[in-house]
Structure 1
Amino acid sequence: MNNSKITPHFSNEEGANPKYFQFEADFVGSLQCIPMQVRMKLDNCGVKLKLVDWNHFSHSERETLVNMPCVSASETEAYRQYLQNLLIVKTGQPAKELAIDPQPAWLDAQSIPNSVQTKAQECQADISLKQWSNLLPEQRFALIKLSRPSHENQNFVPALQEFEIVPK
């Protein structure tokens, strides 16, 4: 993924203010929850960050994690190292590291994951392949995360609305 594919909702340009999805509006000011752009970076660098660990960070440390680029291989490694070192300082131990998917589902515009289709059907919504392929990778990432059974899914329908898959 290069910067030309990054949606206006996600800005990795140096000095730019980060943007968030509208469905995150309830918590982005305080950064009390992990925003989608950080979650995507975590998947990119293979770190499992728990909310309890996120809550150990100061607001400025959270902002650093929001603003740090995590696209190229060197940026991804720097992000992982910064995050792990920060966790060691704050909690005494690093986060669990996960395998990095070389072909993550959010980059596949031609195949809608079953979890997304199932969640959409539960919400009486339908996502066509054309709609899915028109989404930006960050939007597909958000829908995948919001459709996971272990996730509080109250933002799934607002995300579908924000991404103009279903009417508001």
Structure 2
Amino acid sequence: MIPVAVDTVFFAFESDFVVSLRCIPMIVRYKLDTCGIKLKLPEWVKLNLAEKDELATRPCCTAADIVAYRTYLSRLVQDRCGHPASELGAVDAVWDHLRDVPDDIQQKAREWHRPPLTLQQWIDLDTLQRFALVKLSRSGHEGRNFPRALDEFGLS
């Protein structure tokens, strides 16, 4: 996976928790996938607001950025939680595949009685928007933010 530099963005559909950062925002989740660390919500809640903000704003694109991000996050987890950070394992960055719209997204759109995304709509989204739709469409995810994200991204 070759990471793409993304701006620190908090989506409107995250607004109910972004001020307190009580949940892990998409920008951090993107960086977690980029650096290969799995951060669980119980670990996230043990971080202070400044640390959470740092994880949202710290760059994680170049090889050096990724190493620095991973090192910082690993130290935080060890210091705050008393155990090593978990490895994420292989990540299939389907948000970077621009040949077709992922099936999970099309299925989630059908579940919410929304029209399927066209390939052009998918391509026109930025990396973080595509990442968010992929994460919001995965089974086991609550999903109520999926239609909010579609609306926010102009896909309604």
Distance 1:2 1:97 in 2: 21
Distance 2:27 2:87 in 1: 18
Match of 2:96 among 98, 107, 112: 107
Q: What does 1:30-69 align with in structure 2 at a 5 Å threshold?
A: 30-69=20-59
Contact residue 48 and residue 98 of structure 1 kept, 8 A: yes
Contact residue 117 and residue 127 of structure 1 kept, 8 A: yes
Question: Hey, what does 1:118 align to over in structure 2?
Answer: 107
* SS in structure 2 of the partner of residue 27 of structure 1: helix
RMSD of the alignment, in Å?
Answer: 1.3
Contact residue 4 and residue 127 of structure 2 kept, 8 A: no
Question: Hey, what does 2:86 align to over in structure 1?
Answer: 96
Distance 1:75 1:100 in 2: 19
Question: Hey, what does 1:165 align to over in structure 2?
Answer: 155
Q: CA deviation at 1:95?
A: 2.1
Q: 2:61 aligned with 1:71, yes or no?
A: yes
Which piece of structure 1 moves more, 104-113 or 57-66?
Answer: 104-113
Contact residue 42 and residue 49 of structure 1 kept, 8 A: yes
Distance 2:80 2:61 in 1: 25
Q: CA deviation at 1:113?
A: 1.3
Which stretches in structure 1 are left out of the alignment for 5+ residues? 12-18
Distance 1:135 1:87 in 2: 32
Q: CA deviation at 1:104?
A: 1.3
- TM value normalised by structure 1: 0.86
Q: 2:12 aligned with 1:22, yes or no?
A: yes
Contact residue 100 and residue 119 of structure 2 kept, 8 A: yes
Contact residue 44 and residue 76 of structure 1 kept, 8 A: yes
Q: Percent identity?
A: 44
Q: Deviations over 1:59-90 (max 9, x none)?
A: 11111111110011110111111101111011
Q: CA deviation at 1:152?
A: 1.1
Paired residues in the alignment total: 153
- TM value normalised by structure 2: 0.93
Distance 1:90 1:119 in 2: 36
Contact residue 32 and residue 55 of structure 1 kept, 8 A: yes
Q: CA deviation at 1:144?
A: 0.3
- Identify the structure with the greater helix proportion: 2
* SS in structure 2 of the partner of residue 150 of structure 1: coil
